[in-house]
Amino acid sequence: MTEIVADKTVEVVKNAIETADGALDLYNKYLDQVIPWQTFDETIKELSRFKQEYSQAASVLVGDIKTLLMDSQDKYFEATQTVYEWCGVATQLLAAYIFLFDEYNEKKASAQKDILIKVLDDGITKLNEAQKSLLVSSQSFNNASGKLLGVR
């Protein structure tokens, strides 16, 4: 009976890893398409191109806009890096988790529980960090957009 439960658990975990791996591949594929980074970079370059022609007040405003845009980009990449880190750790720990099903016993069951709790706890922490970074990224971008609209 224990072997049947262990086999089913291994299959569930393997499927979860394959699903997470597929989701990460999809995320990587569309990452640069979701955020138009080329347009983003071109906007920053355009703001810098005529800096000698700006009045003092305009220079301050343009500087604020560039800072907000760059802060937004930094926080976005901070969020994605946090998710990548967790995926890397989770993949290794879950592989160890599966390995513990070979010659299953109570000692290994305890180790499995510890590994799974570690993966989930780290995931919650990292995803909360990523969510906070994305919020700051969005706020900075929206503030920059608002200031750009005020330039008109």
Q: What is the pLDDT of residue 111?
A: 85
Q: What is the pLDDT of residue 143?
A: 92
**pTM of this structure:** 0.68
Q: What is the pLDDT of residue 12?
A: 61
pLDDT in tens, 29-80: 555 555 677 888 888 888 888 888 888 888 898 899 999 999 999 999 999 8
Closest CA to 68 of 33, 50, 43: 43
Q: Are 20 and 27 in contact (CB under 8 A)?
A: no
Exposed, middle or buried, 79 (CB in 10 Å: 0-12/13-18/19+)? buried
Q: What is the pLDDT of residue 19?
A: 62
**If you average pLDDT over residues 117-126, what whole number do you get?**
90
CATH number of the domain located at residue range(s) 2-151 in this protein: 1.20.1170.10
pLDDT in tens, 77-99: 999 899 888 888 888 888 888 88
Show the tokens assigned to 145.
């957009």
Q: Which carries the bigger pLDDT value, residue 148 or residue 122?
A: 122
Q: What is the pLDDT of residue 147?
A: 87
Half-sphere CA count of 70, side-chain side, radius 13 A: 10
